[in-house]
Structures are given as C-alpha cells and as structure tokens.
Amino acid sequence: MSEVQEQDRAAGGGPARPTMRDALVEAAFELFSERGFEQTTIDDIVSLAGVGRRSFFRYFPSKEAVVFPDHDGCLADMTAFLAAADPAGDPVEQVCDAARLVLRMYAGNPAFSVGRYRLTKQVPTLRTHELSVVWRYERTLAGHLRTRYAARSDGALRADVIAAAVVAAHNYALRSWLRSGGEGDVGAAVDEALKLVVDTWGGGAEGGSGAASQDDEVVVMVARRGTPMWRVVQGVEAALEG
C-alpha cells in the first residue's frame, strides 16, 4: 500500500541508497496504518523490516522522522534552487517556485502523501513534527527574501511576512488536495492560491516584473490598472531605496 521511492537529488548522482532505509519506512507505514503510531514500537518496526533496532536510529533521528523521510532532501533541493535563482528576478515568484518544489514531492507520491496526511492529522506528536519541518522551509524562503530585500528598511519584516504567506497559501491548497484523497489538480490549486500572494506582495504578477531590476539606474514601475495608489507609492519607494 505504502510505497516509497527515493528520488535522486539534484546535487550529483547519489547512487542507490541502501535499501534498508526504504525497508524501514515501508515497514513503519504498514504498522502505523494498521495499528496506529503510538501503538507501534521501534521494535515492531525493526523486526518487520528484519533489521537491528540500532540501525533504525542510524537512519532516522526519532520515531517521528520516519514519517517524513523525504523532506530533508527536498529542503536541500529548495536551498540549491534559491541559491541559483536570478538576482534580477521577482523574489516573490522565486519563493513561490521554491514552494512548488515541495508540492511536486507531495504530488509525486499521492498515495504516500495521503496516508501520511491522515496519520499526521490524528497524532499530535506527528503534527508537531510536521510543524518543525514546515518551519525549516519557511525560514529558507524568508532567508532568500531577506537577501533580496536587504536594501529596504523594512526588508526583514517583509521577508518574514511574505514567506509566511507563501507557506500558508501553499499549505492551504495542499491540504485541500490531501483531504480530498488526492483527487484533482494540485498544481492548479496551488497556483491559484499563490496567485493571491503574488498579486498582493509580488512585483506585479501579470505582464512584467514590476519591481525594478536593480542593475542600472533606469527604474520601471509596472502596475495593473486599478492598483491602489498606496501600492504604487510602495513600489516606487522600493525601487528608489535600492
């Protein structure tokens, strides 16, 4: 029922992880699904997987971590993606694309993702652990935005708020999809949710990169028709502050 695939990292050819990790994840999910998280001990998992108890903690730092086996790699992907992002591009669009990386991981394994969702929904310990996972993503996004907004006086605050908004929008669409059991187009749902964030915080979603590219003296401000005046002023201020 629960199948785990190890996707290759973008960072070079990590060839064929030892199957023991996958065996542990599979065994854990089988037991968690049929018996519950708290009712399953580490000994149950390792005996089903046919490995030693000590080996479990070589691959996972805690019992909760086995439920989120792919997020460490995804966080590394996100970090690499943002590090390679165009300095002249719209940073809000960039962090949205970074969030879509996480979405792709969920969408790549719908059955696994839905099973994990049902589990985390009803186990407080797992919900807490998921929060810390999401927190790392959010801090990564915020860190990227902070570097791009370094010139602004309110750059750090703005970065934190936008990162939180992006994560909230992403999770809103993702959770709706997970709650539905994996039906429908998640990508479109997330795009629509993120559109709300980009439209309000981004540099002008449709048409152009509203915020000025920061490599020369020419400042171009693009705003949609009907944009409130205060937002226009904000954009101009942002461009001039740089």
Q: Is 52 in the site for DNA (CB under 7 A)?
A: yes
Cα-only R_g, the chain: 21
- Site membership for a second copy, residue 197 (CB under 8 A): yes
- The reply on whether position 157 binds a second copy by CB under 8 A is yes
Q: Which residues of 131-141 are buried (b: 16+ CB within 10 A; e: fewer)?
A: eebbeebbebb
Shortest Å distance, C-beta 66 to DNA? 9
Cα–Cα nearest to 90, from 173, 213, 5, 186: 213
Query: Out of 65, 164, 219, 223, which residue is the one contacting a second copy (CB under 8 A)?
Result: 164
Pick what 160 binds: a second copy, DNA, none; C-beta below 5 to 8 Å, kind-dependent.
Answer: a second copy
CA 147 to chain centre: 19
Q: Looking at beta carbons only, is 105 or 197 nearer to a second copy? A: 197
Alpha-carbon 163 to chain mean position: 11
234 near DNA (CB under 7 A): no
229 binds DNA (CB under 7 A): yes
Q: Which of residues 109-148 bind a second copy (CB under 8 A)?
A: 127-129, 131-132, 135
- Choices 36-44, 153-161, 205-213, 216-224 (CB under 8 A): range interacting with a second copy: 153-161
Residues in 60-119 that interact with DNA by CB under 7 A: 61-64
In the complex with DNA, the residue whose CB is nearer, 55 or 176, is 55
Cα 132 off chain centre by:
12
Q: By CB under 7 A, is residue 58 in contact with DNA?
A: yes
Residue 195: CB minimum distance to a second copy, A: 10
Segment 19-28 long-range contacts (CB within 8 Å, at least 24 positions apart): 20/49, 20/51, 20/55, 20/59, 21/59, 21/69, 23/49, 23/50, 23/51, 24/49, 24/51, 24/55, 24/56, 24/59, 24/60, 24/66, 25/66, 25/69, 26/2, 28/66, 28/67
* Binding residue for a second copy, selected from 51, 114, 193, 238, defined by CB under 8 A: 193
171 interacts with a second copy by CB under 8 A: yes
Dihedral angle of Cα 117, 121, 123, 128, to the nearest 10 degrees = 90
Q: Which is nearer to a second copy, 20 or 161 (CB)?
A: 161
Interacting span for DNA (CB under 7 A) from 52-60, 88-96, 179-187, 201-209: 52-60
Spatial distance between the Cα atoms of 86 and 56, rounded to a whole number of angstroms: 40
Kindly list the residues in this chain that would bind a second copy in the complex (CB under 8 A): 127-129, 131-132, 135, 154, 156-158, 160-161, 163-165, 167-169, 171-173, 193, 196-197, 199-201, 230
